[in-house]
Chains A and B, each alone.
Chain A
Amino acid sequence: MPDNDLAADLGLDEYKYDFVTEDKPVFKARKGLSEDIVRQISAHKEEPEWMLDFRLKALEIYYSKPMPEWGGDLSKLNLDEIYFYLRPQDQMERSWDDVPDSIKETFERLGIPEAERQVLAGVGAQYESEMVYHSLKEEWEEQGIIFESIEDGLKLYPELFREHFATVVPPRDNKFAALNSAVWSGGSFVYIPKGVDVDIPLQAYFRVNAEQMGQFERTLIICEEDSQAHYIEGCTAPVYTTESFHSGVIEIIVKQGARFRYTTIQNWSNNMYNLVTQRAIVNEDATMEWLDGNLGSKLTMKYPSCYLVGERAHGAILSIAYANSGQHQDTGGKVVHAAPHTTSQITSKSISRGHGRATYRGQCKVYEGAVGSKSNVECDALLLDETSRTDTYPYIEIDENQSSIGHEARVSKVGEEQLFYLMSRGLSEEEAMTMVVRGFIEPIAKELPLEYAIELNRLIELEMEGSVG
């Protein structure tokens, strides 16, 4: 069994990215939330009147909704201690050379994938609450692809923006979606024109840096008919002692015949409350894939969802969660079958270690009339020691008899025989354990672009340090 005290003494359990670069915000709102703050944000962003109205209405909805009583423990979350808006720079950077050295240094120390630093293909690196770096390859511009910060999306494409904004996740959806709608800041606006196939993934890196700063990123992605794209978002944040809070909303519209994949690897520091609403509307013959990795944060509540509204639409959710001591990963997925012959697959893998708790919470809903729908859910949970915990809470609601729905879950520990075999081949117990865990997540890791798979493996390795006493 792990000797946690020893591990702590040796600094093995220390968060790897425990460093802070000095932040110099240009504008910093007051702590806490009020109508005044919302007006300030909107004014600061020079938004049209309708957006201010939208924000204010969302604020009212936020106030009227109770805190959720299910899921993780939110009792220690003090929203009055959070900054709802921060902005580090006034100007968007157009080239890498213009990015401040302090930010470059942060990226360097985080080991941001080479792909991102070198190719800079559509990179939107978000530092604090705003996009600070944004660049598009020329050929993409020629193809008509839009990849902007959400603020610029609103400024430059007001009609396209307004037509789709908040249609997938309305403010009324849940308390935190309402909060995000009121104070959103930062995020991406992506538009893939009809028939366009984007072969290099669109990547956005963002990070939270100022203490007690709220991060309310909002992303809107529109995939026109028969288009194809992959969007990658990853985040990591340094450790602070007071709680931090992140509440994003991701809206995706996948039109007829289009194919879209959204990948997130979340590695927030262990004081972060991460409450995200991610949803996609999937039309006829379209495919939506969520690849969701949750490694960090104190509490994550995130259930990427696919609303399959067109015939033969397909939704896939691949979810991986790693819960170490002090962490609760309450994650999963949601699929709604609202059209005939729609199919979906949810694969969830979780690892709990120390006092960590991994929860799978999922929903599969089949409406009457969605004939021939098929859904399959598989959950695997791995428990590494005596104190770790795992839960599985699937909701299966079926109103259509001509459908086929299955759910399966398994809970196990690392097999003695597997360890014995590997150790008899000369590996130490820790190496063997790490190898078994890597094998366990392999089905998901192999879906990632190479540099991310490497990073994921590195993170797992790091997290597994000191796992054997």
Chain B
Amino acid sequence: MLTAHLTGHEPGSLQRRRAAAWEEFGRHPMPTRKMEEWRYTDISGLDVEAYHPLLGGPAAENGGAPKKRAIPAAVQTVLDNGQARSAVMVQDGGQVIHTELDPQLKDMGVLFAPLLEVLETHPELIERYLFASSVAPAEAKLWALHSATVSDGYVLHVPAGVAIPDPVHVLRHLGTPEALVSTHSLIITESGASVTCVDEYVSPDLEPGSLSLNGTEIFGAENASVNFISLQRYGSGVKHFSMQHANTRRDARLSGFNVTLGGDLARADVTSHLQGEAGSSEMLALWFGDGSQHFDHHTLQHHEAAHAHSDLLYKGALTGGARSVFRGLIRVDPQAQLTDAYQTNRNLLLSDDAAATALPNLEIEANDVRCSHGATVGQVDDMQMFYLMSRGLSRKQAERLLVFGFFEEVLGRVPVEGVRERVRQVIEEKIGL
């Protein structure tokens, strides 16, 4: 029984949250295809009890001193790539095994630590921000499961006016088959602060497969600036559910970039709550599916305040028998006049068996707005192929070039070079030559 695992040597406040979340989980039915938000992704057969939750924190193992665990090789190679970083965290199987923060930043009051630790050291932050985002009913079941089973994660708190110069890099490794891993990311930026975070997910191919859950909450105070990048390159066998909520106040700027490359099934629910006037949110995503991968992206640009700006660009390519779903909604509340909101989804189908579904939605209740959306599904352009092949490239080479060109529109807007490189590399492996 999953509930039996939901106790451990952890702060009482977390135990109480778990119990409440578990009750909440029991109250909601498992999403079925009859629910509009789950119409194209069937998880009704997902048996969460079949996975072993990786829980407990560092003290769980016999109650003694935490065992020092080695950094997995797949993570080490990324760490060794020479990229500048202001902070690093490594998680393995949901446990934090390594944390590092530039001492200068620490002196300036930056907090970057495992969630379990912050529960005890900064209860006021936890009380105010943990699980504080407003979650849509369709997301409630998995959000509750995530809250009930969260093993650890990180809290990043940037004080007012502090600009973190280099990326904060969090690497998550999952090496256990049949496991349920659930981690949380909490990014709090005070007024005028700025940061770039990279959350990366890696695993070998797992058989039997594992279940991965992540909840990310971003709070941008007045005039804060957050760049958030999620790079998911799991091996096969993993089902990954990512739930992201960004809450922006007045003049805050947020840029989110989601890359989905791995796993058998990946579902991302990405929400921008534009709560303050003149906030802005850039939402970018890229995915490349092959084999029988199924990727599902759900987005919400919720304009709750006037003068805010949001711009979404989600691009995906599919080959083999891969399938993708995009459902995006721009919701403009009556008071959110002078909203500027855009939403674009482009899909490239590279094989006969690939299939894409796009549902770009608008709900507009204010009249003085500029909103548009567009979605396309198509194949590589014949004329462009012809041009490249007439220059001596093989069909395969030409196609590869066009796929990279297709992604460049998104990738070019990502500020971290190391991320761009790793994405290109994985796509290259997937396309082959």
Contacts and interface: CB of A to CB of B under 8 A. Distances in A.
Partners in one complex: yes
A368 B352 contact: yes
Given A70-B36, A401-B351, A407 B369 contact: no
B110 to A, nearest CB: 41
Q: 5 closest Cβ contacts across the A-B interface?
A: A401-B349, A383-B367, A392-B362, A396-B358, A411-B371
A409 B369 contact: no
User: Which of B349, B357, B367 has the most C-beta atoms of chain A within 10 angstroms of its own C-beta?
Assistant: B367
A311 B314 CA distance: 33
Contacts of B349: 398, 400-401
19 contacts: A368-B355, A383-B366, A386-B334, A386-B368, A388-B367, A389-B363, A389-B364, A390-B362, A392-B360, A394-B358, A394-B359, A395-B359, A398-B358, A406-B376, A407-B375, A409-B360, A409-B372, A409-B373, A409-B374
B367 A384 contact: yes
A50 interface: no
Interface in B304-343: 334, 337
A53 B370 CA distance: 54
Given A398-B347, A398-B349, A398-B355, A409 B362 contact: yes
B377 A403 contact: yes
Contacts of A396: 356-359, 375, 377
B208 interface: no
Interface string A406-419: 11111111000000
A319 to B, nearest CB: 16
Interface string A347-379: 000000000000000000010100000000000
A404 interface: yes
Contacts of B120: none
A327 to B, nearest CB: 15
Contacts of A397: 355, 357
B361 interface: yes
A385 interface: yes
Contact of A411 (B36, B354, B362, B378): B362
The interface residues of chain B, by DSSP majority, are classed as strand
B36 A406 contact: no
B364 A390 contact: yes
- Say which size band chain A's interface belongs to: 35 or more
Given A392-B361, A401-B350, A405-B376, 6 more contacts: A70-B36, A396-B359, A398-B358, A407-B360, A407-B373, A413-B368
B417 to A, nearest CB: 32
A395 B357 contact: yes
Interface of B: 36, 334, 337, 347, 349-379
A442 interface: no
B375 A381 contact: no
Nearest to B381: A404
Interface of A: 70, 366, 368, 381, 383-413
Given A401-B349, A401-B350, A386 B379 contact: no
Given A395-B357, A396-B357, A386 B367 contact: yes
Nearest to A363: B359
B372 A408 contact: yes
Nearest to B344: A408
Nearest to A408: B374
B371 A387 contact: no
A411 B378 CA distance: 25
Contact of A406 (B352, B367, B374): B374
Contacts of B347: 398
A416 to B, nearest CB: 10
Given A383-B364, A387-B334, A403-B378, A392 B357 contact: no
B95 to A, nearest CB: 41
Nearest to B34: A69
Contacts of A407: 358, 360, 373-376
A381 B377 CA distance: 23
A398 B353 CA distance: 10
Contacts of A411: 362, 364, 369-372
Contacts of B366: 383, 386
Contacts of A409: 360, 362, 372-374
A54 to B, nearest CB: 29
Given A391-B362, A395-B357, A412 B375 contact: no
Contacts of B368: 386, 413
A400 B36 CA distance: 23
Contacts of A381: 362, 364
A391 B36 contact: no
Contacts of A404: 376-379
B356 A398 contact: yes
A402 B334 contact: no
Nearest to A388: B367
Contacts of B363: 389-391
Nearest to B351: A401
Given A392-B362, A395-B357, A402 B375 contact: no
A399 B355 contact: yes
Contacts of B358: 394, 396, 398, 407
B199 to A, nearest CB: 30
Nearest to A369: B352
A357 B368 CA distance: 15
A75 to B, nearest CB: 18
Contact of B354 (A366, A401, A406): A401
Contact of A405 (B353, B354, B367, B378): B378
Contacts of B377: 366, 396, 398, 403-405
A35 B354 CA distance: 48
A427 B236 CA distance: 67
Contacts of A70: 36
Contacts of B369: 383, 411-413
Contacts of A366: 377
Given A387-B334, A406-B376, A410-B371, A398 B364 contact: no
A69 B10 CA distance: 44
Contacts of B364: 381, 383, 389-391, 411
Best-surrounded residue of B365, B370, B374, B377 (most CB of chain A within 10 A):
B377
A412 B361 CA distance: 15
A405 B353 CA distance: 17
B210 to A, nearest CB: 30
Contacts of A402: 352, 379
A410 B360 CA distance: 12
B387 to A, nearest CB: 18
A406 B376 CA distance: 4
